[in-house]
Structure 1
């Protein structure tokens, strides 16, 4: 009997959850790799005084990701989460290699790299939308926060990996250093492609396409109890039945109908706030931030990104430990408040004590990163993965991902320009105010999702929509 059971269960749940979230490695590596590559690239291409061009090279990936997230969301509803993750890995491999072999043809080299990194961003944006959706549809409700948090652990592990690679390659000749840093991103993409080849499709997507037998088989890989499988299948089918009875045709306008508007605004709003709070300014530019604070060369400050990466990884593990013990809203509000103060206090201290030690701001940035790492960083993608109903999940996840990347792109683009025009403390104080606004948004606009099934969350949003439709003044 055990032999037969093992023969049927060919894919372990650990394998599914590991490679289901491995796309975060691509996301994280490309967020982090430019941190170390940029000082060498600036020196090699003489871009030290070209703040706008540096901003575009850094943020080009995020600009492409805006469209990659939205496109992948739509296509995943048609072709499935698994196939689109495979396609993302292929695109990522191709354009990582093309980044590493950028031609040295004067100023045109910068524009070539910007264009290549925009196409690379299509894959990064797709992964940021597809991985949370896939993980939330595979994970049981009681462990969904923890297992979806694997995505964040993969992201920050990818960032730390890129920081370590940058540090190990820093003593190579400048041109070889940054080229290898960028080109080696193809390696995790290849690993993802090989792993996802064996992954099953999401059971919710399979049921939506009418393949109940295969959906049951997939659930048998990741659910221990046959009764739990039957209950989950029945719940998913009931939701699908209601959608068919309503003869619903999902379009962009569907997202903002009274039935879904509340949940869409909540999910997209959290995704946007995560980036406009300024975290990626630290991750992309920490060597340059330390350089401006201390006067030391940015290329000699590549240990600081590793420090940030270690804090992020530890924070992601802390999150997995506390994920299903505290409400999502509580963690977001506490984290956002501390993050805001970590940005605002250096400006206040510097105003009161003009001779403040310049490293004070770096210490406060570490506090910011610590709280960000176990609150807004993982919870944004957990919420994006679980708050949207099945009928709109692919499209809405893509929209949330796109808004997230719009914030990331703008922060990456304008941060070097802002710091060239005003003190760093003032720039971070602006981000601190945005953090506080994010806390207010969570308090007033975001529902609690911990411990609820995806179907219960959808019903909560539907009921809210009915109330709003009946009492518009509310």
Structure 2
């Protein structure tokens, strides 16, 4: 019986986290497919390239917002199953897009993006509700590791398929995203529903059964009581809090801090590298982008290693210290190539790619995971649901705009100039961290809320 229980909990945590791999795979797969798609369709319009790439993030803006509300009605498990079905259908439809069917592909990828946005919201929520309290602190880091592992997997698949004929290569790359979606669907069929959802829907016996798979017997009743108390507080909060409350004096400081960090994470330009690195290498060296598919794999390995490093150092350094370090190095990595290019016009064109790798290395263990740690702990309970949703929306909007605008910007100015703009935004992000974001490491949620209240009180008396 003990062994069965152990296997059950491992199965639950593995497939609970598997959605992060699927999310990362779908985000990364277009990186390798795009150069082949451009060759096949003769795509030269920077706007069309930007929309095909970023349409998945546009859909994610809405998918993330809807998933939270629907999962409260239908359950976390059922919504993950629906997302897996959308992933599968969207991936297959992407692969069979009609020739020169840019509009068709954009619409399908918006549809697919809704599942991506849903997964980005549902997977952390499901995992945090299933895992015991002592493991929740690392969940943001583990989820980040799963996402970047999914991205790396997509880069490897793109590389392995790159020897096929142009038309077949990109279609198969996009269709292959259905494989992890089907694996997720089969695995989640056997997963239990979140005990928190069951308790909120007065299914106490089912909740006890689920908790018996993943908790010691003596902890089950106390956890049920705790979940019931929290659910009552949240119900009260939903009645008394409106969207306008987020910017009321009591909460304004913490809301601006959390939403600002989420927005800066994307506007700093990381996704310009992840989505367009083959095209960046092509522009820097003159070689075809389809022959530069080793570079995404290198970036993916750096991302995975950085996420593992974060798991080791997450609780050893202050949040603001890591974000300041990361943002400063990231900003300089973007700005220095432009300066060197001005001073030494004949500098090696690969210099920019080396600096981009430095950027990715520091991003991977600072801003990438820490953004979601801060968003998870900075908002007071009364506004947490709405504020977290707002932060997620701003993050996806930033991701969409960077994906859309990067090819348009590089069509009208040099890559070095475009990255220098992103570098300036990185340094603005550091200024924001130092002036507008409180330290949250080591503080309880109540103490963090008090920091916000004290800040507002000091402003009134100043």
Provide the TM-score with structure 1 as the length reference: 0.88
Q: What CA distance in whole angstroms lies between the structure 2 residues aligned with 1:19 and 1:189?
A: 11
Aligned to 1:299: 290
Choose the corresponding residue for 2:170, options 169, 172, 178. Answer: 178
Q: CA deviation at 1:233?
A: 4.7
**CA offset digits 1:27-86 (Å, max 9, x no partner):** 211221111111111111111x21111111111111111111111122223333322222
- 1:369-448 aligned at under 5 Å gives the runs 369-388=360-379, 393-448=384-439
Determine helix, strand or coil for the equivalent of 2:170: helix
Q: CA deviation at 1:413?
A: 0.7
- 1:149-228 aligned at under 5 Å gives the runs 149-224=141-216, 226-227=218-219
Determine helix, strand or coil for the equivalent of 2:124: helix
**CA offset digits 1:214-256 (Å, max 9, x no partner):** 44554444445835x5665554444444455668355544544
Aligned to 2:310: 319
- 1:19-418 aligned at under 5 Å gives the runs 19-47=15-43, 49-104=44-99, 106=100, 109-224=101-216, 226-227=218-219, 232-243=223-234, 248=239, 251-257=242-248, 260-388=251-379, 393-418=384-409
Q: What CA distance in whole angstroms lies between the structure 2 residues aligned with 1:164 and 1:402?
A: 30
**CA offset digits 1:275-301 (Å, max 9, x no partner):** 111011001111111111111111111
Q: What CA distance in whole angstroms lies between the structure 2 residues aligned with 1:449 and 1:140?
A: 21
| Contact 2:124 2:139 (8 Å CA) reproduced | no
Q: CA deviation at 1:393?
A: 4.7
| Contact 2:278 2:289 (8 Å CA) reproduced | yes
| Contact 1:271 1:404 (8 Å CA) reproduced | yes
Determine helix, strand or coil for the equivalent of 2:347: coil
Q: What CA distance in whole angstroms lies between the structure 2 residues aligned with 1:249 and 1:195?
A: 39
Between 1 and 2, higher relative CO (CA 8 Å, sep ≥ 6) is seen in: 1
| Contact 2:379 2:449 (8 Å CA) reproduced | no
Aligned to 1:460: 447
> Which stretch has the larger CA shift, 51-60 or 249-258?
249-258
Q: What CA distance in whole angstroms lies between the structure 1 residues aligned with 2:238 and 2:386?
A: 18
| Contact 2:237 2:383 (8 Å CA) reproduced | no
Q: Number of aligned residue pairs: give it.
A: 461
**CA offset digits 1:341-391 (Å, max 9, x no partner):** 111111222222222211111111001111111121122233334444566
| Contact 1:133 1:397 (8 Å CA) reproduced | no
Q: CA deviation at 1:100?
A: 0.4
Q: What CA distance in whole angstroms lies between the structure 1 residues aligned with 2:377 and 2:9?
A: 19
Q: What CA distance in whole angstroms lies between the structure 1 residues aligned with 2:191 and 2:326?
A: 34
Residues 73 and 472 of structure 1, relative CA distance in 2, 3 Å threshold: farther
Determine helix, strand or coil for the equivalent of 1:363: helix
Residues 245 and 399 of structure 1, relative CA distance in 2, 3 Å threshold: closer
**CA offset digits 1:428-458 (Å, max 9, x no partner):** 1111111122223233333444456xxx42x
> Which stretch has the larger CA shift, 421-430 or 192-201?
192-201
Q: What CA distance in whole angstroms lies between the structure 1 residues aligned with 2:31 and 2:238?
A: 49
Residues 295 and 195 of structure 1, relative CA distance in 2, 3 Å threshold: same
Provide the TM-score with structure 2 as the length reference: 0.91
| Contact 1:60 1:409 (8 Å CA) reproduced | yes
| Contact 1:263 1:388 (8 Å CA) reproduced | yes
Determine helix, strand or coil for the equivalent of 1:22: helix
Q: CA deviation at 1:11?
A: 6.2
Q: Which runs of 5+ in 2 are unaligned?
A: none
Determine helix, strand or coil for the equivalent of 1:368: helix
**CA offset digits 1:411-437 (Å, max 9, x no partner):** 111101111111111111111111122
| Contact 1:92 1:189 (8 Å CA) reproduced | yes
Q: CA deviation at 1:206?
A: 3.8
Q: Which runs of 5+ in 1 are unaligned?
A: none
Q: What CA distance in whole angstroms lies between the structure 1 residues aligned with 2:252 and 2:190?
A: 36
Q: CA deviation at 1:23?
A: 1.4
Q: What CA distance in whole angstroms lies between the structure 2 residues aligned with 1:285 and 1:406?
A: 18
